[in-house]
Amino acid sequence: MNSGDTAWVLTAGALVLLMTIPGLAFFYGGLVRRKNVLSILMQCFIIVCVISLQWVLFGYSLAFGPDFHGIIGTLEWAGLAGVGAAPNSNYAATIPHSVFMIFQAMFAIITPALIIGAYAERVKFPAFLLFTLLWATFVYDPLAHWVWGAGGWLKSLGGLDFAGGIVVHVSSGISALVLALLLGKRVGYNHKPIRPHNLPFTVLGAALLWFGWFGFNAGSALAADGLAANAFVTTNTATAAAGLTWALIEWWHNGTPTILGVATGAVAGLVAVTPACGFVNPMNAIFIGIIVALVCYTAVAVIKGKLGYDDSLDAFGVHGVGGTVGTIATGLFAEKAVNAAGADGLLFGNLHQFGVQCLMLVVTIAFAAIMTFIIFKIVDAAIGMRVEENNEIIGLDLTQQSEAAYTVIE
């Protein structure tokens, strides 16, 4: 046991919580209309409550518990049975098992919260709750097991995902796209973004995401060591490159750079460097940042408008597309010189690793899409996923929660 490692991973866990509330809550909350801002804050906040409990009751055991044929963890660790102060050397030999568990809990929390961006402003609260619980249990937990769990089949194939590019971002981003397609557009949406009601909130949220992401990525080293330092440096570098690149593209394409653009680019950079941060060097992190800004900008500003689906806050365009770029980039830029426990990528002569990354990507996309479709159909049949049109027009704050964010009259 190492007290430095333990202290860092505990701190990193708190940083990852900060990403969901208030980071993501305000990032998304600022982007919606004023009549729906509380619904976003509520969804983010209650996901923390619901998934924290799901995780300690059975979620952690499904994801990381003793392996069952590479596809799922058994329920042996349900209720945290046997998950205590003694380290589990399969995951982290120098910190208490319970520290690894609670660090991972924060990842399980933020992943379904990312999907909110796709269905914002138009789902029923009870349907959202049921969907989130089912999605966490039947999509996130198995996928986390495949990629990160001891004995998981993608992990056994040698798939690399340092901090969750696949497990967190591709899974939530693809599910976001499926939901946006199934739910349909918001009333009044016409191929153009609906004006954000409070961009300062969004920028505040993006800044908190950047800050918390150091816990997400550098914490995933599960130790206070040189690998954590590499992840920290590559995370910051790729994010900076992506934010600047996005601003430059806008400048060239629209005539002016925007703060929403810089913030969006930075988040895309954070997403893309997530799977790669512990395997690539800082100079290649710059390339990852530049590439993801180019690709995500095209997805969000060009392709989305043409295809016409309403991914309200670009959960797919940033997390799905950015996670895909990051997963492929890991297969290109990974090098054993950075992380001996990793692998060399295509640029270092290892075509096999590139193939494994692509396989992992295809499997995750297919699994997340099919499962989200099924869960949507179940919830839609049981409760009805979408609010009635009249309630959507009035706004979710009043119709789903009976409260209003802003007073107009004293």
* Binding-site ranges for another protein (CB under 8 A): 192-193, 195-196, 250, 253-254, 256, 258, 260-261, 264, 297, 300-302, 305, 314
Taking the least distance from each CB to another protein, the nearer of 69 and 192 is 192
Q: How big is the chain by its Cα radius of gyration, in Å?
A: 20
Taking the least distance from each CB to another protein, the nearer of 166 and 293 is 293
Taking the least distance from each CB to another protein, the nearer of 99 and 296 is 296
Half-sphere exposure of 111 (CA within 13 A, CB side): 34
Cβ atoms of residues 242 and 272 within 8 Å = yes
Taking the least distance from each CB to another protein, the nearer of 21 and 116 is 116
From 124, 131, 107, 126, select the one nearest 24 (Cα to Cα). 107
Q: Could you tell me the two tokens for 112?
A: 């379904």
Taking the least distance from each CB to another protein, the nearer of 315 and 375 is 315
State the nearest-atom distance from the C-beta of 329 to another protein, in Å. Answer: 22
Distance, CA of 403 to CA of 401 (rounded, Å): 6
State the nearest-atom distance from the C-beta of 53 to another protein, in Å. Answer: 35
State the nearest-atom distance from the C-beta of 296 to another protein, in Å. Answer: 10
Taking the least distance from each CB to another protein, the nearer of 99 and 262 is 262
Place of tokens 């495949």: 146
State the nearest-atom distance from the C-beta of 268 to another protein, in Å. Answer: 11
Place of tokens 């333990």: 6
State the nearest-atom distance from the C-beta of 69 to another protein, in Å. Answer: 43
Give the Cα-Cα-Cα angle 38, 40, 41 (nearest 5 degrees). 65
> Is the previous residue joined to 196 through a cis bond, with omega within 30 degrees of 0?
no
State the nearest-atom distance from the C-beta of 266 to another protein, in Å. Answer: 13
From 314, 312, 307, select the one nearest 396 (Cα to Cα). 312
State the CB neighbour count (10 A cutoff) for residue 392: 19
